């Protein structure tokens, strides 16, 4: 603990007291913010982990199917088959404020160009059934993948903010507030000491006059 470098005067004492009050209030607020952020973060990160595990597993399956498809078909044919997608995905991102962290809220619009219900953008004559499998599997994963994107981004942003808040809370708790308290105590002592020395001096003078 280091005492702040200030003059021990009444004015400084008042100043420091005010600062201590602000610091204590700020510390309490930040601590509350940190607790709430942490609670939400833990909820979110658990979801994130679960989602990622699922997505990774399912994606791997889809890739396997696609690999087989690309082995069966010629590469030109494959590229041609997927070149003109029937579906378009548009993404709308809104920001949500969670304890002063701006978290994206994503909503998706998936639109099929024609309404005949098939998701495959190619005819069935020249493509293999493995490709169908791969595409339909990917199609099914999409919502999860998009949700993962939203959750993972939110987690990243919140982790950053939690770290920042924690540093602030710690700085206030272990540095600013003890320093202020110690300095206030020092100034009080000094002022009291001055007062006592004035009184003794006066008594001494009075004694001398009386004699």
* Residues near other proteins (CB under 8 A): 38, 41-42, 45-46, 48-49, 52-53, 55-56, 59-60, 62-64, 66-67, 70, 78-79, 81-83, 85-93, 95, 102-104, 106, 110, 120-122, 134-135, 138-139, 142, 145-146, 148-150, 152-153, 155-160, 162-163
Beta bridge partners, 96, equal 103
Cβ proximity to other proteins: between 117 and 207 the closer is 117
User: Rounded to the nearest whole angstrom, what is the least distance from the CB of residue 79 to other proteins in the complex?
Assistant: 7
User: Rounded to the nearest whole angstrom, what is the least distance from the CB of residue 150 to other proteins in the complex?
Assistant: 7
Cβ proximity to other proteins: between 55 and 177 the closer is 55
Report the chain's terminal Cα–Cα distance, integer Å: 49
Q: Please give the Cα distance from 71 to 64 (Å, whole number).
A: 11
State whether residue 128 is helix, strand or coil. Answer: coil
Cβ proximity to other proteins: between 4 and 157 the closer is 157
User: Rounded to the nearest whole angstrom, what is the least distance from the CB of residue 117 to other proteins in the complex?
Assistant: 16
User: Rounded to the nearest whole angstrom, what is the least distance from the CB of residue 26 to other proteins in the complex?
Assistant: 21
Cβ proximity to other proteins: between 4 and 77 the closer is 77
Distance of CA 144 to the CA centre of its chain: 22
Decide: 106 and 92 in contact? Cβ < 8 Å.
Answer: yes
Q: How many CA atoms lie within 13 A of 64 on its CB side?
A: 6
Q: What does DSSP assign to residue 13? A: H
Beta bridge partners, 110, equal 89
User: Rounded to the nearest whole angstrom, what is the least distance from the CB of residue 24 to other proteins in the complex?
Assistant: 24
């Amino acid at each position: 603990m280091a005492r702040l470098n200030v003059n021990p005067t009444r004015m400084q004492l008042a100043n420091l007291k005010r600062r201590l009050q602000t610091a204590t209030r700020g510390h309490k607020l930040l601590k509350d913010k940190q607790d709430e952020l942490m609670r939400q973060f833990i909820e979110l990160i658990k979801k994130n982990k679960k989602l990622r595990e699922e997505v990774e597993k399912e994606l791997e399956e889809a890739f396997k199917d696609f690999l087989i498809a690309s082995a069966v078909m010629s590469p030109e044919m494959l590229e041609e088959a997927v070149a003109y997608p029937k579906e378009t995905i548009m993404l709308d991102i809104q920001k949500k404020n969670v304890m002063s962290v701006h978290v994206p809220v994503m909503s998706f619009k998936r639109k099929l160009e024609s309404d005949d219900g098939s998701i495959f953008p190619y005819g069935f004559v020249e493509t293999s059934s493995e490709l169908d499998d791969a595409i339909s599997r990917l199609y099914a994963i999409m919502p999860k993948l998009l949700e993962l994107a939203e959750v993972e981004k939110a987690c990243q942003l919140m982790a950053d903010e939690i770290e920042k808040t924690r540093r602030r809370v710690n700085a206030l708790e272990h540095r600013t507030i003890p320093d202020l308290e110690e300095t206030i105590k020092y100034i009080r002592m000094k002022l009291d000491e001055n007062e006592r020395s004035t009184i003794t001096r006066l008594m001494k003078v009075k004694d001398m006059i009386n004699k």
